[in-house]
Structure 1
């Protein structure tokens, strides 16, 4: 199955990732880890909030009819901000449909709600980029793909703009002869 998953990554996932996930190395996916997971009776029921050891993850629902098992997403985070609260625009729910797939950043925090009836079977393919992983060893102040880093950056920019406006106002005000 390894060669089939390699071909899937090279011919399909890499092309999509170049467009949608370039900021996390989607243009340079060069390894993968694939596995099947089952949820339901005598199996895992649910999965708490987590991230994958991947830059891009493909999640294909292989199962038959089932109930429950929805994915809930809570924003993309770097290690520094893993426990930060999700912003309203980062909250997303996804219901699996047999034969359908979802592709997302591996660092997208998410969980799976309980599978309440029957059994859900999913194929997961974690796609990795050695280039991105090497670059990640040398982080900058803000990680572009982390939602909390982006919020902090916007806040710093707004503070700088406000300070500059205040300084300009004070300069103009102090230049007015009384």
Structure 2
């Protein structure tokens, strides 16, 4: 199956970290008209600062325009020159999983399973429709962390996970997609998500974006309010030792609910939530935190409305899973 991106990727949801602002950029005139007062209220007082921001935005758009090409280059380099520390973990095995997770998956695969049966096996968090449960064994988390740190120390090129996380690993570039993450989504996460979020899984969760985010001193320390480019997201804490950096949830993107609920990261435990659920990461106080994030996507859901621009998607060519859109029901534009 061929997957695509939406045209909005090149002009919308561009994050300006200094002013904690997501923006749409069509041209300088539109940007200044829309955001000058907002930026002034947030401390941007001079024309020089505005020019600097616009330069940063244009650089980000240029990066996005080259993202497929640069990602393919990194993947090829890593494939040729990177020597894994733990080659065996690149292939998914059932013994990587906590026994409670395997039991949960088995129950979710039962014909006509009821959600009440599943809810008895997981923890329902205070935020609406946010659930937690053990996923990986401590031994696997330890091996995975060692592999990630080994890769970080290598001379291989490293792509940023997304526009808000500047440190971490794109797992498809490292070689984890085909024999690990795709099977993880299809055989384990799909059954759970179908029971808990039937309205978001559509016909099936048929693609994903998997990456590692890291928080540590002198790198990313926190993460501003945002929603994910996914229908369902799983966030699994891998460790290490740290304080702070709690995950904080508000309401859905379409709501005005600003009530905050918090969740503490625990090694091996996964947090499952809807992609459109607004959330953030509180500041890291000490130590280092590594998390596996998988944005799971259903083309049958997002083909009708792009979750990032709220319009019917205008599609462009993309590498791999792209952003999870397919051309089954939409006219494709390949002008870029």
Give the TM-score, by structure 1 length: 0.69
- Which residue in the other structure is 1:28 paired with? 204
Measured in 1, the distance between the counterparts of 2:184 and 2:193 equals 12
Residue aligning to 1:144? none
Map 1:66-77 to 2 at 5 A: 66-77=242-253
Match of 1:2 in 2: 177
Instruction: Please identify runs of 4+ aligned residues in structure 1 that moved more than 3 A.
Output: none
1:136 aligns with 2:305: yes
Partners of 2:197 and 2:235 lie apart in 1 by 16
Aligned length: 131
Q: Runs of 5+ in structure 2 lacking a partner? A: 1-175, 311-336
The SS at the match of 1:98 is: coil
Q: CA deviation at 1:26?
A: 5.5
Judging changes above 3 Å, is the alpha-carbon distance between structure 1 residues 27 and 21 closer, same or farther for their aligned structure 2 residues? Answer: farther
> 1:92 aligned to 2:261?
yes
Partner of 2:90: none
Structure 1 residue 23, shift from structure 2 partner: 1.2
- In structure 1, what is the equivalent of residue 190 of structure 2? 14
Unaligned runs of 5+ in 1: 140-178
Task: Give the number of the structure whose alpha-carbon radius of gyration is greater.
Answer: 1
> What residue is the counterpart of 1:38 in the other structure?
214
Rate the CA distance shift 1:108–1:41 in 2: closer, same or farther, 3 A: same
1:123-159 deviation per Cα after TM superposition (whole angstroms, max 9, x unaligned): 101100000012336x9xxxxxxxxxxxxxxxxxxxx
Alpha-carbon distance in structure 2 between the residues aligned to 1:26 and 1:74: 24
Query: Is the Cα contact below 8 Å between 1:17 and 1:27 reproduced in 2?
Result: no
Partner in structure 2 of residue 119 of structure 1 = 288
Aligned-partner SS, 1:48: strand
**1:46-73 CA distance string (max 9 Å, x none):** 0010001000111011121210110110
Residue aligning to 1:164: none
Please tell me whether the aligned partners of residues 227 and 253 of structure 2 are also in contact (alpha carbons under 8 angstroms). Answer: no
